Chains A and B, each alone.
Chain A
Amino acid sequence: MKSLLIKGGRVIDPANHVDEVRDVFIAESKIVASAQDAEVIDARGKIVTPGLIDMHVHLREPGRGDKETVETGTRCAARGGFTSIVCMPNTTPAADNTGTIAFIRQRVAEVGCVNVFPTGAISKELKGEELAPIGSLKKAGIVALTDDGHCVQSNDLMRRAVEYAKMFNLPVLDHCQDYSLVADGVVHEGYWSAALGLRGWPATGEDVIVARNVLLAELTDWWIHCQHISSARSVQLIREAKRRGVKISAEACPHHFTMTDGCVKAYETNFKMNPPLRTEHDRDGILEGLADGTIDCIASDHAPHCTYEKEVEFDLAPFGIIGLETELALSLELVRKKVLTLPALIERFTTKPATLLRLNKGTLSMGADADVTIIDPEIEWTYDVTQSASKSRNSPFHGWQMRGKAERTIVGGVTKFP
């Protein structure tokens, strides 16, 4: 393996409080202090960061290889600047057994383009009724528990899951949705649901579960992570809980801090996701949560669906959009809007998720794995979803003018993109 010298870039390494122009050396797939005969990568004018981490990705394998596979999903991640992704367990069969985890890990070893950290199900078949074999899943290599796509409705089961997960040092990630309040809602409950005659998904349907999670995290003294927060009230609940020292964390998705519910007005199903796009007030709440650290991470909730599945009546279309390739550019917008400094943004993609999930990633410390992302923060480009590395095309950002892009993605010392 050839050594690399990434020369003259602005290196941002939040773990080491580094933000300065310097060189980064890579040898034997590790970050090193210097290297002989290194291939030089000119990074002048570019930003050099620890490889970005996306802790919320659906790879669809096993079961729905027509939507995405480990191969295509990880290529998509590399294009987006991500060197590590965390994949969700709502596959077919669900990742509620060690066999599925072993299968995913085997596929990653064979065709994966970036590091993949699997999660395991909280409950058998994601049904929210009985605990999955959490200890065995841990041994099989999961980094967290989640029923993502589903939400454990039983407060008792959730409590026991968190208590049990604590024994294995596994954080519990929750898709916060109260089924009775949300019922068959498809868009945010408000002006647009009323105008369009679509069933409303009230923000309270998220807030109730976030509040529940705060209380259970307090009771169990263990980590619950609230996924894809979409409501301003949820941000407040998490902020208050964090002030009390509760072990609660949260992520936000680019679509929720970029768009609002008015986007659904033409019944375009690529604006249908779960939780739904909400109001300006909610978007502002998420931005404030990102700014003050209430929201720890940014994640894509990359959710590929076939075009024929999305080209149907709004009510019948599956929830979700792909997001790995647009995530960084949309997030860099936060720096331009002065919501976050660039180092703070990079933190939300590196040290924060690495800490939450106990991953030995997200830093350019000496001896660390040589996962590096080189970002051109100013390059202007247009997102053309027909050229996506994903197998799916369900992006609402097709045709959007973007600014900033991963120029090179290095995983374990090897360039995986371009």
Chain B
Amino acid sequence: MNTTWRHKDLLGIQELTAEEITFLLDTAAAFKQVGERSIKKVPSLRGKTLVNLFIEPSTRTRTSFELAAKRLSADVININTTASSLVKGETLKDTALNLQALNADIIVIRHSAAGAPHFLARFLKASIINAGDGAHEHPTQALLDAFTIREHKGRIDGLNVTILGDILYSRVARSNIWLLTKLGARVTLAGPSTLVPRVFEQFGCRVVHDIETAIGDADVINLLRIQHERQRKTMFPSIGEYTAMFGLNKDRFARTKPDALIMHPGPINRGVEIDSEIADCDRSVILEQVTNGLAVRMAVLFVCSGGQL
């Protein structure tokens, strides 16, 4: 019997226990094997309807959720901002109630406003899966990052993980911080002081503004994109200066641990936060993250629908 998972929704990592996170990762491992078969589809969610409600542009995450749902045999509807009635002045609540009236079982929501999934979960019967809410959380990204780290390092506990870049506006950073600290990793956050404020020390992280210190002892280096769309203009001088001060270039790469993993949630900006060749090197697991994302999302959809292996 499935006693580890009791949630209908996945709103964030913050509210999960280490045991629940490990359970999701183990479930994802089983689904990864499914993806490697010649017939990649299982009937687990046959007859269920999943709505991808994307109120902020996304290609990678939406595609991943769509494919995950289809591999579980669910019916999938995609709604994105331009097509939705939200631009006609309907509230998110009304949009969601309409989806409920159509008997949607799972709503995967991406929204530029933090807390939007929590707001929906308060009044909807459907499962709500957070596919990224503003600068708050992106739980499936953190799960797929952890899954990838675990595959390569065999564990999370005791690892030094450095997250480098725009932490303040990053939902990926927040979900990773919660997950990694719950599972016993030592997390270092690095980047310009305006984007990596000291307040993050209260989350149990080390905060540094010197890239050499940040990456020297790291077992994993997770690079984040600079989120132009979420930022005020006063946060740092220029992309060029960011690259000069914090970009992972060949010199800096040469001083990392020889087995340090290079990760990035995408989309990558080659030549900005990461040197183009480093993005493609054998220590880069950026595309594996994408593959693992599918398995993780299958696991999430499956367990939030009450599925048991």
Contact = CB atoms under 8 A, between A and B. Distances in A.
Nearest to A266: B118
Could you say which of A197, A198, A312 has the most chain B C-beta atoms within 10 Å of its C-beta? A197
B114 A197 contact: yes
B118 A311 contact: no
Interface stretch (B32-40, B155-163, B197-205): B197-205
Interface string A176-196: 000000010000001100111
Interface stretch (B41-49, B133-141, B211-219): B133-141
Interface in B82-114: 91-93, 111-114
B197 to A, nearest CB: 7
A308 B91 CA distance: 8
A316 B55 CA distance: 14
Contacts of B114: 196-198, 267, 314-315
Nearest to B136: A197
A195 B136 CA distance: 7
B91 A198 contact: no
B116 interface: yes
A313 interface: yes
Given A190-B199, A313-B92, A197 B119 contact: no
Interface string B174-213: 1000000000000000000000010110110000000000
B91 A314 contact: no
Contacts of A197: 114-115, 133-137, 171, 174
Contacts of B174: 195, 197
Nearest to B199: A194
Contacts of B93: 311-312
Contacts of A311: 91, 93
A361 B115 CA distance: 46
Interface string B125-162: 00000000111110000000000000000000000000
B199 A312 contact: no
Contacts of B119: 267, 312-314
Contacts of B17: none
B230 to A, nearest CB: 9
Contacts of A313: 92, 111, 113, 115-116, 119
B14 interface: yes
Interface in A193-234: 194-198
B6 interface: no
B228 interface: no
B80 to A, nearest CB: 17
A314 B116 CA distance: 7
A161 B80 CA distance: 48
B232 A191 contact: no
A327 to B, nearest CB: 28
Nearest to A314: B115
Contacts of B91: 308, 311-312
Q: In which size bucket is the chain B interface?
A: 20 to 34
Contacts of B197: 194
Q: In which size bucket is the chain A interface?
A: 10 to 19
A195 B133 CA distance: 12
Contacts of B202: 191, 194
Nearest to B116: A313
A195 B14 contact: yes
A183 B232 contact: yes
Contacts of A190: 199
A196 B136 contact: yes
B115 A194 contact: no
Nearest to B122: A266
Nearest to A311: B93
Contacts of A315: 112-114, 134
Nearest to A189: B199
A194 B200 contact: yes
Interface in A254-286: 266-267
B206 to A, nearest CB: 15
A175 B23 CA distance: 51
B199 A198 contact: no
B137 A267 contact: no
A183 B135 CA distance: 16
Nearest to B197: A194
Could you say which of B115, B116, B199 has the most chain A C-beta atoms within 10 Å of its C-beta? B115
Contacts of A314: 113-116, 119
B270 to A, nearest CB: 27
A307 to B, nearest CB: 10
B98 to A, nearest CB: 15
Contact of A198 (B111, B115, B200): B115
B137 to A, nearest CB: 7
Contacts of B133: 197
B69 to A, nearest CB: 24
Nearest to A180: B234
Nearest to B202: A191
A315 B135 CA distance: 12
A221 to B, nearest CB: 36
Interface in A288-330: 308, 311-316
B113 A191 contact: no
A313 B115 CA distance: 7
Given A198-B134, A313-B113, A313-B116, 17 more contacts: A194-B168, A195-B14, A195-B203, A197-B115, A197-B133, A197-B134, A197-B137, A197-B171, A198-B135, A266-B118, A267-B119, A312-B91, A312-B92, A312-B119, A313-B92, A314-B113, A314-B116
Interface of B: 14, 91-93, 111-116, 118-119, 133-137, 168, 171, 174, 197, 199-200, 202-203, 232
7 contacts: A194-B168, A194-B197, A194-B203, A198-B114, A198-B134, A312-B92, A313-B116
| CB-CB nearest 7 A-B residue pairs | A267-B115, A197-B136, A197-B135, A313-B113, A197-B114, A315-B113, A314-B115
